[in-house]
Each structure stands twice: as C-alpha cells, then as structure tokens.
Amino acid sequence: MMQKIWLKIRRIGFELYCFFTAPLVVKNCLGLFSFLTGLFLLTFWWLKCYTNHGESLQVPNFVGMGYREATQKARARDFEVIVNDSIYVPGKPPGEVVAQNPEPESRVKEGRTLYFTVTKNNPDIIKLPELAGSDDYDLYSRKISRLGLKPRILSRVADPILEPNTIVAVLYRGDTITEKIRRGYQLEMGATLDFVVSEQVTLTVSIPDCVCQTYDAAKFLISSSQLNIGTVQRDASVTDEQNAYVWRQFPKYDANGTMRVGEQIDLYITQEKPAGCEDQ
C-alpha cells in the first residue's frame, strides 16, 4: 500500500518537473517575472519623482520684505505664494510681509505653498466697547489692547465715591469722548486713548456745623472743607433760597466726627431762622 502511494507521488513530481522545465513554460515564466520586476521598478521611480522622496527645501525668511520682492524670491525657489491675511500695523508701509507660514528655516517639499500676512494701507475701524459694567481701567485697557488700541493713563484724580482705578473720563486727541462711547464711538486701529482714573482717598476733614447758617454760608463752609453738597430739601416756606436757613443736616455735626474729602452733606432749609438760632 505504501509503495503504491510513493510511486504515485514520484509520478506526479516527475510530471511537474517536466512541465516547469519545458522551454515554452520557462520562457513564459521568465517573461512574467521580468514584466513584474520592471513594473515594480517603474512604479517606485514614479513615486520617488512625484513625492521628491528624501528631498526638501529650507524656507527663507521673507518677513520684513515687500510683497513683490518676497513673491519673486519665493517663486525663484519653486514656491507658490498666497496672501491669506492683511492687517494694519502703525509705522509700517503697506505691502510688507509681517508673518509667513511655514515658518522661516523650516524644511518643506519643493513646490509648497507659502502663506503671507502683509500690511495694508488703511487701518481697520474699531468700535469701542461700552464702559457700562467694565469701567475698571485694568479690565478695559486689556480689552481695547486686544483690539489694537493703545491705552494710557493721562492723570489720576482723588474720588471718595469711586473704587480706585475706576475710569472717570476717556479722551481721544484731547477731546472727551466718555459720553460718545455709549453711543458707539469708532476710531482707527492703533490709536492712543487717554484715561483719567480715580485713586484712593485717605484724607479726612472735620464735619462742619451748618445748622442755623444761611444756605449761602453753608455752601461756603462745605466747599471750604473740601466736601460736596448732596441733596437740598426745601420746605414750602422757601422763597429766597440763598437767604434761607439750614435747620438740619446729614451727617449731623459732631465736634469729634470726620468725613472723607469729597463726601456729601445733605441740607434741609427753611425761609425763617429756626428757633434756638437767635443767639447765633
């Protein structure tokens, strides 16, 4: 049984040998192998040429050049050029390259597209953000700086009511525009805005005694104490305000009491001199 199987295997092997050693088969196999080898080499060569395999170029630095000069030099190095953005930069002439992508000195394939950011002739028009809810100078200055404006503090004023560093006034080229901002004020990018901001008040003064004084005299006492007049309540008898008398004040007079500079005193006045004031 085993002998028959072995003989059958030998016969099959001999037949295969005869088939593959036949001249026609050998010729066809060699031709097919040559064709596949040539096809592989041709494909590899084409891919190498198409992708510039192993080859790269260093990107020159075009920042600071004029657009026309940069474009000529880039195309001379087989780069394509596209302007993808234009911005206004104070002090720079229009058409200057201020940024590029890919970055200078990076390595890229030949024929790569370079994207330029260039300066333009006219600045963008910026609408100032509203002051309402953001009148803190530090917050507002950061906000307008991101828009391309230049904030600076022109002066500081003592104000007992406002928090320190609060915007009191905004000026542009010497013109006060605080109210105009609320209506949507616009100006050129790169402009400088001046600010008057508050500072902390630490000075205190004695409370003046205004009761029994005429309204005119009370105003003088309050202003000379570096304070301000608040609410003035007039009763029905008042016909001549300046010669009316103060019968009550708030805060009340206190020989040992003090107020911060700039705070207010409310006055209550009547036309006739109040009772108890005859000797004053």
Which strand (E) or helix (H) includes residue 194? strand 192-199
Tokens, residue 33:
């192998």
| 3-class secondary structure, 10 | helix
Residue 39 lies in a domain: no
- Enumerate the β-bridge partners of residue 199: 158
Tokens, residue 69:
């000069």
Boundary-marking domain end, from 199, 217, 250: 199
Q: Are residues 208 and 257 in the same domain?
A: yes
Question: What letter does residue 242 receive in the DSSP assignment?
Answer: G
Q: Are residues 217 and 243 in the same domain?
A: yes
Q: Name every residue whose Cβ is closer than 8 Å to that of residue 249 and which is 6 or more positions away in sequence.
A: 210, 211, 218, 265, 266, 267, 268
User: Structural domain of residue 15, as residue ranges?
Assistant: 1-30
Contact 182/132 with Cβ under 8 angstroms? yes
Q: Are residues 221 and 252 in the same domain?
A: yes
Residue 42 lies in a domain: no
Q: Are residues 133 and 170 in the same domain?
A: yes
Q: Are residues 138 and 115 in the same domain?
A: no
Q: Are residues 62 and 114 in the same domain?
A: yes
Q: Are residues 189 and 130 in the same domain?
A: yes
Nearest to 262 by CA among 168, 180, 171: 168
Which strand (E) or helix (H) includes residue 155? strand 150-158
Residue 46 lies in a domain: no
Q: Are residues 157 and 192 in the same domain?
A: yes
State how many domains the chain has. Answer: 4
d(CA 52, CA 15): 50
CATH of the domain at 234: 3.30.10.20
Tokens, residue 128:
């100032």
Question: What pLDDT was estimated at residue 17?
Answer: 54
Residue 40 lies in a domain: no
* Distances from the Cα of 6 to the Cα of 9, 12, 14, 18, 210, angstroms: 5, 10, 12, 18, 136
- Backbone dihedral angles phi then psi of residue 37, each to the nearest 5 degrees: -65, -45
Boundary-marking domain end, from 199, 227, 254: 199
d(CA 93, CA 68): 13
Question: What pLDDT was estimated at residue 28?
Answer: 62
**Per-residue tens of pLDDT for the chain, all 280 residues:** 666 666 666 666 555 555 556 666 556 666 666 767 776 667 666 666 555 544 677 888 988 888 889 888 888 888 888 888 888 777 788 889 889 888 888 888 877 888 989 988 888 888 899 887 678 999 999 999 998 899 999 888 877 788 888 999 999 988 888 888 878 888 888 889 999 998 876 678 899 999 999 999 899 999 988 899 999 999 999 999 989 999 999 999 998 888 887 889 999 999 998 888 865 5
- String of b and e for 155-167 (b: at least 16 CB within 10 Å)? ebebbbebeebbb
Question: What pLDDT was estimated at residue 210?
Answer: 92
Residue 48 lies in a domain: no
Residue 7 lies in a domain: yes
Residue 217 lies in a domain: yes
d(CA 87, CA 138): 26
Q: Are residues 129 and 115 in the same domain?
A: no
Q: Are residues 133 and 194 in the same domain?
A: yes
Question: What pLDDT was estimated at residue 208?
Answer: 92
Residue 160 identity = P
Boundary-marking domain end, from 181, 199, 217: 199
Ramachandran class of 277: left when φ > 0, alpha when ψ lies in -120 to 50, beta otherwise: alpha
Question: What letter does residue 3 receive in the DSSP assignment?
Answer: H
Q: Are residues 220 and 264 in the same domain?
A: yes
Residue 240 lies in a domain: yes
Dihedral angle over CA of 144, 149, 154, 159, nearest 10:
-10
Q: Are residues 190 and 242 in the same domain?
A: no
